[in-house]
Structure 1
Amino acid sequence: MDVELIEIREFLASHAPFDQLPAGVLDALPQRLTVRYLRRGTPFPPPDDPEPNLYILRRGAVELRDDTGNLIGKLAEGDLCPRPCEASQADMPFDGQTAEDTLAYLLPCAELEQLRTEHMSFSEHFDASMSQRMRKALDAIRDDSAGTALMTVQVGDLLARPLVHATPDISIQAAAKIMSDARVSSLLLLKDGRLAGMITDRDLRNRCLAAGLPPSEPVHRIMTERLHTVRDSTLGFEALITMSRLNVHHLPVLDEHGVRGVVSTSDLVRVQSANAVYLVGDVRKADSPETLAAISAKLGELQIQLVQSGATANQIGQAITAVTDAITLRLLELAEADLGTPPVPYCWMAGGSQARREQSSHSDQDNALLIADHMQPEDDAYFKALARFVNDGLNACGYVYCPGDVMASNDKWRQPLKIWTKYFNTWIKRPDPMALMLSSVFFDLRPIHDPEGLFGELSERIHAMSKKETIYIAYMAANALKHRPPIGFFRKFVLIRGGEHNQTFDLKHRGIVPVVDLARVYALSAGLDEINTLERLKAAGEARALSADGAANLIDAQEFIGTLRMRHQAAQLKRGEKADNFLAPDDLSALERGHLKDAFALINTMQESLGQRYQAGRFA
């Protein structure tokens, strides 16, 4: 093959959708193309084409404008002319013009149609939306992983044995015999065909034998009544995360007909390692901050294993946060054991990525204390000591002190309910730059320890206040536009120049944070109490705070960018390096770069839309 044709073939093979074509087809394709040079300022596509063609940009740049002259898109190297073979020149939904001297490869529309007819994966590119392409790219990342069993298997498929059950009025001894005969570690208790409770081997030991309860007593005396359940269609990984978060080893499984069985950690272990569950179990047994630090050191390995198993960013975030929550709770228990019973009820609140259940290993810490209003001034000495114990313990476990000092050990963020209410009222009524910065932190709060339910009242007050204040939402919208995706004119990546991270971009602050900020504004505008970014977007779409398509597209963009970030960090951890958020485009395949540009462009479009809705320029 001619050297020039080889160069064209390699170019096509590195760009979607031509990378989906078989090698033999790619070998023959360059000979079916023509090359055209367009000077700057040439209409695009050129009106003098003798026949309609698909334009594939090799070099140069093209601007696309609507009928009012507004810029609606830009094309650069590797991009295709939108809808080239589906409309006549007069019917094109845009006016195009080359913004610089441009070289393009031309594929006749008849040839394009033949390729689409013969190669389904190639054809799907033209039919798929941006969201569908990103979802496909995310699936490709997961398919490259070592194993995806728990990502695809449903818990219903793990229930090999018939349902083992009894009624709550049988004796404890009779229940134990049923479990022994069936060789099961748990027993569902049904009343009139409905789930009434469950007992496990642990309940028999702790609630019967250790408590000296006669085995002749009815089993309902030791059963757990308030049960968390999963559907038979729940993915194995989701069940695993639920077990990790709740520190349980059995979950009843329901289908459309009622109770179907129980899934246990043993069932999941048969499919794949359940490290998150075991880490949480180890945390609960830890007797010192030093022991917790040793357990926490395993989080990097957990992230590596989850990436290798095909987990998405959201799944990894849920798993790692479950361990962080357990460490936080154990530190609180150790603090209370050292300091004594709290003088009044309190709530430990996590902020940031821990609150949103979106952590990687290890994030810095953001937290605060909400204390009952009847606390006395002298009570603060106790809570100050408790906060210092937990903050120091988290730091020892790798969750470094917050650079902005947003921690419970800071006197300002250790306050009774009435003061927290006043804080939010001030921030919402007078949204100056500092208030907006603090709002971005404190509108992402989740209770980690709250035995008296103090957080519920604060949350209700916050959402009631924020939903009514449209000016405040407009300020928050303007604040959400400050973190822009790293993509410039003609879909070119904007990279860091010089320094330690030369020729990279920050996936967290330029990719993840913009979607987090958008989701927060959508949630606040609709008075939604979801905290997780994907849950916020889904709820906002259902509440019509943004379109259903907009919500779905942002969810896919966030998952794609986040999964690339988790994979990048896992590779660093595996090499023994410190994980960071700085990714070089050269570390990605051409297809991944293209999808990442799509994701960044989508986020930018959604930011522009939000800015126009709230006239954010007035509040910047």
Structure 2
Amino acid sequence: MNQQTPLRARVFRGVRPPVTLPPDASVREAARVMRDERVSCILVTAAGTLTGIFTDRDLRNRVVAADLDGTTPIAQVMSPGPVSLEARASAFDAMLLMSRHNIRHLPVTRDGVLEGCITTTNLVRLQAPSAVYLVGDLHKQETAEGMAAVLRPLPELVWRLADAGLSASNIGHVVSALTDAATVRLVRLAEKALGPAPVPYAWAAAGSQGRQEQTAFSDQDNCLILDDTYDEAVHGAYFTAFTRFVCDGLNVCGYVHCPGGTMAMTPTWRLPVREWKALFRRWVEEPDPKALMLSSIFFDLRLVRGPKALFEAVQGPALERARQNRAFLAHLARHALGHQPPLGFFRHLVLERGGENANKLDLKHKGLIPIIDLARVHALAAGVAAVNTQERLDLVRERGGLSPEGAANLRDALEFIALTRVRHQARRSREGQALDNFLAPADLSPLERSYLKDAFGVVKTMQSALAHVFQVGRL
């Protein structure tokens, strides 16, 4: 893969030296410095340490619009504790961080020492795709229809990311960040329309969004964790309307309603902490087929909006309960082995039979899902809280749950299969066809087919090892 593409360039290429002022400098002085230096932000430092950032937006919204005096110290109107990035990072890392936090200025440090600041304008000069701008535009919209218009270029963005040489893993993080931004904006619009929530809540994503592995529009998988002060009789109507607003809005944006109803607007998946704990306890202690299917969904939860403590009050006990229950892990391992890679004897590819996808490979259910399932079982056995598949494999390796070679092989297999799917979907999108996960082997070069067979072979080997470790044959 080309290591010299703009998105892989060191972020320091786009950084100008820092323009700084102390916290007690006045907003008038800050405005003059911004004008004279032709910058859109001031980095606020005290004793050489970055303490805040003051931007042109802060000047408009917090000073001029609030009718504050020009002598006001910038410490009163700055954004304290800004997100920052190491100079060794890439332009992609900057783009992803700015997209996740909906910011347009990012301080850059080297070993803790302030080096400068990169802006969205700098990223444009580095030819970075417009994910940052899409996130910014999403947060400006007042309707789901407006958000859908902003997200319309998403397929083109994926093409550009792939053409820029990004990995499938990186593309998944960018696309998922956009889904997160759409979710957060809809949550805010729901609160604006319905009023503040009567009790604290945490909005969590599952599925590919939860794992930060989205590569295109997909059906939504989400749920709501409510504080234990929740009373259905008192608060139920609010959260029924609230979750309907958000889920319907996501549907308008292109993230269609989950066919299985795994959404926060379904009462089953809108529960207080105590009831979520009871659900996870039942799934672990009574691992019937339905419990295993639901475990595969809800052990991939990731917080999108709300108090971290509320989310962790459910996730923490669930992870510990799963880690300690070897019987549950064995059943989950057997469930994971239900998805076999399409590789037969003598390394021939096993294609779909019958129907519109006959003679094609199912890259999702027989390529990616087996690796995702493997990583989940090993992560739960090792007590790993991460849900992204690549992160799970790395952390399990660090804890001794997988050999360095096994983890590396699975990472490589996952990346190759996922990137093959991204390129397949990009090709179909460019041709005006509906996106799918079914690839005709004839669309691959002989070398690509060989690599794909190698990837499937890795998965089969690691599945055999999983069955042995968890003694699946004794169930």
Q: TM-score normalised by the shorter chain: which range applies?
A: over 0.9
Q: TM-score, normalised by structure 2?
A: 0.97
**1:600 CA displacement:** 0.8
Within 5 Å, give how 1:25-40 maps onto structure 2: none
- Partner of residue 14, structure 2: 158
- Partner of residue 209, structure 2: 354
Within 5 Å, give how 1:498-509 maps onto structure 2: 498-509=354-365
Q: TM-score, normalised by structure 1?
A: 0.75
Q: Deviations over 1:9-42 (max 9, x none)?
A: xxxxxxxxxxxxxxxxxxxxxxxxxxxxxxxxxx
Aligned partners of 1:313 and 1:563 also within 8 Å = yes
Sequence identity (%) = 47
Pick aligned residue for 1:458 from 299, 314, 326: 314
Within 5 Å, give how 1:418-567 maps onto structure 2: 418-451=274-307, 453-567=309-423
Q: Look up the SS of the partner of 1:448 in the other structure.
A: strand
Supply the distance in 2 between the matched residues of 1:373 and 1:445 (Cα, whole angstroms).
Answer: 19
- Partner of residue 583, structure 1: 439
Aligned partners of 2:262 and 2:269 also within 8 Å = yes
**1:481 CA displacement:** 1.2
Amino acid at match of 1:498: G
- Partner of residue 389, structure 1: 245
Q: Deviations over 1:308-351 (max 9, x none)?
A: 22222111111111111111112112222222221211111111
Aligned partners of 2:131 and 2:178 also within 8 Å = yes
- Partner of residue 127, structure 2: 272
Supply the distance in 1 between the matched residues of 2:59 and 2:407 (Cα, whole angstroms).
Answer: 47
Q: Deviations over 1:522-573 (max 9, x none)?
A: 2111111111111111111111111122212211111111011001000000
Aligned partners of 2:154 and 2:216 also within 8 Å = yes
Q: Deviations over 1:254-311 (max 9, x none)?
A: 1126111111111110011431111111111111121122223221222222222222
Give the alignment's Cα RMSD to 1 decimal: 1.5
Supply the distance in 2 between the matched residues of 1:296 and 1:617 (Cα, whole angstroms).
Answer: 47
**1:148 CA displacement:** 2.7
- Partner of residue 450, structure 2: 594
Amino acid at match of 1:353: S
Within 5 Å, give how 1:22-421 maps onto structure 2: 139=1, 148-150=5-7, 152-159=8-15, 161-256=16-111, 258-378=113-233, 379-421=235-277
Q: Look up the SS of the partner of 1:173 in the other structure.
A: helix
Supply the distance in 1 between the matched residues of 2:112 and 2:137 (Cα, whole angstroms).
Answer: 37
Q: Look up the SS of the partner of 1:603 in the other structure.
A: helix
Amino acid at match of 2:415: E
| Gap change, CA 1:162 and 1:410, over 3 Å in 2 | closer
- Partner of residue 117, structure 1: none
Supply the distance in 2 between the matched residues of 1:514 and 1:308 (Cα, whole angstroms).
Answer: 27
Q: Look up the SS of the partner of 1:285 in the other structure.
A: coil
- Partner of residue 473, structure 2: 617
Q: Deviations over 1:43-74 (max 9, x none)?
A: xxxxxxxxxxxxxxxxxxxxxxxxxxxxxxxx
- Partner of residue 36, structure 1: none
Q: Deviations over 1:177-223 (max 9, x none)?
A: 22222111112122111211111111111111112222212211112
Supply the distance in 1 between the matched residues of 2:69 and 2:451 (Cα, whole angstroms).
Answer: 64
Aligned partners of 2:129 and 2:160 also within 8 Å = no
- Partner of residue 91, structure 1: none
Supply the distance in 2 between the matched residues of 1:218 and 1:565 (Cα, whole angstroms).
Answer: 53
Q: Look up the SS of the partner of 2:80 in the other structure.
A: coil
Amino acid at match of 1:468: Q
| Gap change, CA 1:257 and 1:405, over 3 Å in 2 | closer
Q: Deviations over 1:123-179 (max 9, x none)?
A: xxxxxxxxxxxxxxxx2xx68xxx9311x20111222x3332122122222222222
**1:452 CA displacement:** 6.8
Supply the distance in 2 between the matched residues of 1:417 and 1:558 (Cα, whole angstroms).
Answer: 34
Aligned partners of 2:203 and 2:222 also within 8 Å = yes
User: Structure 2: which 5+ runs fail to align?
Assistant: none
Aligned partners of 1:346 and 1:452 also within 8 Å = no
Q: Look up the SS of the partner of 1:189 in the other structure.
A: strand
Aligned partners of 1:421 and 1:462 also within 8 Å = yes
Supply the distance in 1 between the matched residues of 2:371 and 2:225 (Cα, whole angstroms).
Answer: 28
Supply the distance in 2 between the matched residues of 1:456 and 1:386 (Cα, whole angstroms).
Answer: 22
Supply the distance in 2 between the matched residues of 1:461 and 1:330 (Cα, whole angstroms).
Answer: 30
Aligned partners of 1:293 and 1:398 also within 8 Å = yes
Supply the distance in 1 between the matched residues of 2:382 and 2:70 (Cα, whole angstroms).
Answer: 53
Supply the distance in 1 between the matched residues of 2:376 and 2:326 (Cα, whole angstroms).
Answer: 14
Q: Look up the SS of the partner of 2:139 in the other structure.
A: helix
